Structure 1
Amino acid sequence: MTADVLLEKDLQAQFEERIARGDKIEADDWMPEEYRLALIKLISMHGISEIMGALPEKEWVPKAPTLYRKLGIMAKVQDEMGHGQLLLRVAEDLIKPLGKNREDLMQDLFAGRLKFHNVFHMATKSWGDAGLIGWLVDGAAIITQTNMLNASYAPYARALQRICAEEVFHAQHGEAIILALAEGTPEQKEMVQDALNRWWEALLFFFGPPSSDTTGSTKQDITIKYKIRINTNEELRQGFLSKYVPRIKSIGLTIPDPTLRFDEETEKWIYQQPNWENFKKIQRNEGPKSQERLKLRRTSYDDNAWVREALSARIG
């Protein structure tokens, strides 16, 4: 065994001891490749998803029913873009030692190597969809992100403190829209029910497949091993159902799953499994709006290249 291999094993053992103690890892600390790559995949996907997630709601800025609602959704879109930029800076610190930069992340997105969250491949057909994204999609995001507030990677944990605080306001914004519609005319109530019917599968997809799923993903195992996150995908999904099923029913909406029930014996929700083949299609950028939104992001990136060049020249 070579000296380099022995040194690597020693560093790995020391790193795992730090994780076990609850130490926080900074960007310039030594870290195993497995840890770095897991962080890059998670944080870059999170950052890109914040940016791509602004696109479905951006479509409703000019169509919001009142000036008050227009200002609210504009502020939300602005926040999401800011979250994306913050997270991409965190990801950039991780990829620099690999000789990469933010340009590489964007090219990975356009080439399909970097994914964005499955919910943001979906169409927004009504104002009810805009409200539901704020209430339930952002609600699911809060559950996922608070699961990582104490992440072992300190820069990500610090970024999440700000992001989670702002996501709470986004969820309240969405809930206010949904409540106004649910208490409105029969047509408005139907709009909300229709949105829920179309988005329910995507909401179950949000947390990813359970570890026993045949997709064979071990990402959640690695992130739990290194204390980047606490709970599994299924535990997060169960938390979402516990929090939101009673709220959804309380405003007179029907969840489009006749099998849904809480099992007292196991203390778990029993629900109809979504079609995980659809999830895999979305992962391949074959969702309803995948290519349209990628094209919009690519066009925006190309059209604004002159801004990046001007800033680079000034900094240089």
Structure 2
Amino acid sequence: MASQTLQSVPGEPTVAQHEQSLEEAARRDADGQAYFDKVMADDSRIEPRDWMPPAYRKTLLRQISQHAHSEIIGMQPEANWISRAPSLKRKAILMAKVQDEAGHGLYLYSAAETLGQPRDQMMQDLMDGKAKYSSIFNYPARTWADMGAIGWMVDGAAIANQVPLCRASFGPYGRAMVRVCKEESFHQRQGFEILLELSHGTPEQKQMAQDAVNRWYAPALMMFGPPDDDSPNSKQSMAWNIKRFSNDELRNRFVGMMMEQVKVLELTLPDKDIRFNEETKKWEHGPLDWEEFHEVLAGRGPCNAQRLERRREAHNDGTWVREAAAAYAEKQAAKQAEKEFAA
């Protein structure tokens, strides 16, 4: 019987070539990991084309996409009040703020896209309920004073959380946060000014302002995420220089900021356990209802279903715009191809 010789299928790599390919990939990973570790040690930045560990990429995608979703969903509570703003000036300011939030979402999606995730997929995950966003936007804005409380407390918490992100180790995220924080500063001052006017108005207006502060105080503190002992992602994000401070550090720092500003408003924070720690020289808040936090995060908050339904409606209403833009781009590409062919 004739002897047979094993041969590789034409076009397919041989065993030796496959092993060599694996060795080269392992060498690239080792070199990439060494470079990544040096960037972290030097407190420098990773750019989209640099090598990065899969877990680092996954963490960034989760955080940046959730941040973008929060900006887009966060437009809804305030957009509801544009038509009911008490003056033309207030209407114009609120419209500008809502437009800012849309812009924040768009360039945060752009930052996430540099990690290889298509924007359409991120949007679809949001509408399908697979992606999370900040739980605070699942609470209703009941009165005009809520516009003040959202601006002062919610955007104030965002600033406390996001200013350190300007130094995030991932370049596109850190650079995007510089602009976001500048605009959030305007939003926070706008909210404070609304509360200041109400708190120095009639007794009814002052009570309206106090009620709004009472409603938004706890949700604003929970914006920083769960306690450090219950936050599995926080420590790793800090090790990678994505985050600079823990959830509890940021939360306590924010409480200290509010305690000074609430005096000017002549209002009170609804926390009987809030106190100044003489040893640490920091303000400390009372216990928060973390069960409520997890319920809202799981989709069982007051407005979860409504928020996603409106997002789907807005997406569907914009179908003709996306189709028109795609058709225009196709025509422009065809014209360019004709010019190149003629040349």
What TM-score does the superposition give when structure 2 sets the normalisation length? 0.87
Equivalent position SS for 1:72: helix
The aligned counterpart of 1:24 is 45
Within 5 Å, give how 1:245-284 maps onto structure 2. Answer: 245-284=259-298
Equivalent position SS for 1:224: helix
d(CA) in 1 for partners of 2:44, 2:269: 43
The aligned counterpart of 2:317 is 303
Q: Deviations over 1:64-85 (max 9, x none)?
A: 1011111110110011101111
Q: 1:144·1:236 contact (CA, 8 Å) conserved in 2?
A: yes
d(CA) in 2 for partners of 1:312, 1:21: 44
User: How far is 1:5 from its partner?
Assistant: 4.2
* Count of residue pairs brought into register by the alignment: 309
Residue from 174, 188, 191 that aligns with 1:174: 191
The aligned counterpart of 1:120 is 137
Equivalent position SS for 1:274: coil
The aligned counterpart of 1:312 is 326
The aligned counterpart of 2:244 is 230
Q: Deviations over 1:253-295 (max 9, x none)?
A: 1211111111112334332211111111111121111110110
The aligned counterpart of 2:228 is 211
Equivalent AA in structure 1 for residue 157 of structure 2:
A
- Structure 2: which 5+ runs fail to align? 1-18, 331-343
Does residue 194 in structure 1 map to residue 211 in structure 2?
yes
Q: Is the radius of gyration larger for structure 1 or structure 2?
A: 2
Residue from 280, 292, 299 that aligns with 1:285: 299
d(CA) in 2 for partners of 1:17, 1:147: 21
The aligned counterpart of 1:79 is 100
d(CA) in 1 for partners of 2:64, 2:151: 21
Give the RMSD, CA atoms, in angstroms. 1.5
Residue from 115, 122, 130 that aligns with 2:147: 130
Q: 1:38·1:222 contact (CA, 8 Å) conserved in 2?
A: no
User: How far is 1:14 from its partner?
Assistant: 2.2
Q: Relative contact order, CA 8 A, sep 6+: which one is greater?
A: 1
The aligned counterpart of 1:40 is 61
Equivalent position SS for 1:269: strand
Does residue 62 in structure 1 map to residue 79 in structure 2?
no
Equivalent AA in structure 2 for residue 23 of structure 1:
S
Equivalent position SS for 2:167: coil
d(CA) in 2 for partners of 1:200, 1:285: 20
Residue from 10, 24, 29 that aligns with 1:8: 29
The aligned counterpart of 1:140 is 157
- Structure 1: which 5+ runs fail to align? none
Equivalent AA in structure 1 for residue 159 of structure 2:
I
User: How far is 1:206 from its partner?
Assistant: 0.9
Equivalent position SS for 2:300: coil
Equivalent position SS for 1:212: helix
Within 5 Å, give how 1:90-101 maps onto structure 2. Answer: 90-94=111-115, 96=116, 100-101=117-118
Equivalent AA in structure 1 for residue 111 of structure 2:
V
Q: 2:252·2:284 contact (CA, 8 Å) conserved in 1?
A: no
Runs of 4+ in 1 over 6 A off after TM superposition: none
User: How far is 1:223 from its partner?
Assistant: 1.4
